[in-house]
Amino acid sequence: MVCNRCVSSVDNTLNNLKIEFEYISLGQYNINNINDDLYLKLKTELQTLGFDLIDDNKKIISLKIKATLIDVISLGKIEDKSLLSILSENFDFSYNYLSKVFRISENITIEKYFLRLKIEKIKEYLSYNELSIKEISYKLNYNSVSHLSNHFKKETGLSPSLFKKNINKRTGLDF
């Protein structure tokens, strides 16, 4: 579940099946004990909505890490925060453990995943044309504009200014 509509869909499904639950939030829910038949009904109903039940605790941790990092980036709560501090604020596991679980589960390191999220956010900021590259670098906790630019070019093959110029050409906007 990655949006409020998803939470609402799962909530409706649980209520329709008369399954008691303690809470539902993005990416997770906690249901009371249910029998195998009801579990299979729930699994089937959720799959028709495009959801999967995940029973593997390590996969659950990995999905929670992803949801946390997406929230931090999308809500702009990254300024002056390291990846280590973000994860330690949100999890009661060591960074090494989280890193190992994530890498095994997702076939990518947390660091690379986080950097990819940052690149996507940079693209978004450049597309909206509301912030300068310097403001973007500050907002996404880069050490400098050149650090952001080098990272962006390494991942996309374009400098941020060239990316911005290409966006403006496609949209017909000239800034």
User: Which DSSP helix (H) or strand (E) runs through 164?
Assistant: helix 160-171
Assess whether 94 and 142 both reside in one domain: yes
Please list, in sequence order, all residues whose beta carbon lies within 8 angstroms of the beta carbon of residue 64, skipping any fewer than 6 positions away: 27, 28, 90, 91
Assess whether 112 and 175 both reside in one domain: yes
- Provide the domain limits for residue 4: 1-53
Q: Which of 11, 36, 53 is the last residue of a domain?
A: 53
What is the full DSSP assignment across 143-163? S-HHHHHHHHHHHHSS-HHHH
Assess whether 43 and 104 both reside in one domain: no
Assess whether 92 and 175 both reside in one domain: yes
Is residue 76 within 8 A of residue 113, CB to CB? The reply is no
Assess whether 159 and 117 both reside in one domain: yes
Assess whether 12 and 39 both reside in one domain: yes
Assess whether 85 and 170 both reside in one domain: yes
Is residue 135 within 8 A of residue 142, CB to CB? The reply is no
User: Which DSSP helix (H) or strand (E) runs through 96?
Assistant: helix 95-106
Q: Answer with the residue of higher pLDDT: 77 or 140.
A: 140
Task: Give me the pLDDT at residue 1, please.
Answer: 46
Token pair of 119, please? 């690149």
User: Which DSSP helix (H) or strand (E) runs through 59?
Assistant: helix 57-74
Q: How many domains does the chain have?
A: 2
Please list, in sequence order, all residues whose beta carbon lies within 8 angstroms of the beta carbon of residue 52, skipping any fewer than 6 positions away: 46
Task: Give me the pLDDT at residue 175, please.
Answer: 46
How many Å separate Cα 36 from the centre of its chain? 32
Q: Which of 53, 69, 84 is the last residue of a domain?
A: 53
Each residue of 115-155: pLDDT tens digit?
A: 999 999 999 999 998 899 999 998 898 989 999 999 999 99
